[in-house]
Chains A and B, each alone.
Chain A
């Protein structure tokens, strides 16, 4: 996921797809890159703007056994974030390892 929250229904659609795949016993990994790391930022309160928060959706991932959520170290650093700022536990990976990680998967879906 590479885009910040509040950009439309993209996040909800992505999570629907992830949870559906996981419900059908597919091994799912989630990788947050670029502005996608903002999706996991604590303290988002978009309700006053009439929007639904996305953090509870990510917190629900563990219920679907999607526990391998990866976040790129450089994307966090570029946005002044650390893992303590995020709503769920994540595994931090280096940018240099993304290519190898990508190659390990049969299917990559981008949002």
Chain B
């Protein structure tokens, strides 16, 4: 089974996203939660590093965390799948192990 990577820090305050992507394997999933959802915004600084990982990993962002921060669907980069809490649970059930990048 592929690994699920969880990231909760804003890409502007932490290197967690880059550190994760440098070690993620092909077919892995990366779920952005809490302040990490800012990485899902179109044109964000980290877009290049995320672009280079596409094809390798699938990106997800937690919808309620986007909504809580006022990030509208229209602002989210394409190819990022927005999931609700149920989707979060499905991701944890479909992947193993689960690795948290604080």
Binding site for B on A (CB under 8 A): 2-3, 33-34, 95, 98-100, 102-103, 105-111
Find A110's partner among B22, B24, B99 (CB 8 Å cutoff).
B99
Chain A binding surface SS class? loop
Asked if A95 and B23 sit within 8 Å, CB to CB, the answer is: yes
CB distance from B93 to the nearest CB of A (A): 14
B101: chain A residues within 8 A (beta carbon): 2, 110
Chain B interface size band reads: 10 to 19
Contacts of B23 in A (CB 8 A): 33, 95, 98-99, 102
**Residue-by-residue, is B1-44 near A (CB-CB < 8 Å gives 1, otherwise 0)?**
11100000000000100010011111010000000000000000
The closest CB in chain A to the CB of B16 belongs to A2
Q: Does B91 contact A (CB under 8 A)?
A: no
Contact A102/B102 with A33-B23, A95-B22 known, Cβ cut-off 8 Å: no
Task: Write out the residue numbers on chain A whose beta carbons fall within 8 Å of the beta carbon of B99.
Answer: 102, 108, 110
Q: Which of B24, B28, B97 has most chain A Cβ within 10 Å?
A: B97
From A33, A99, A108, A109, B19 is in contact (CB under 8 Å) with A33
**CB <8 Å contact, B100 and A102:** no
Does chain A have a CB within 8 A of B83? Answer: no
B46 at the interface (CB under 8 A from A): no
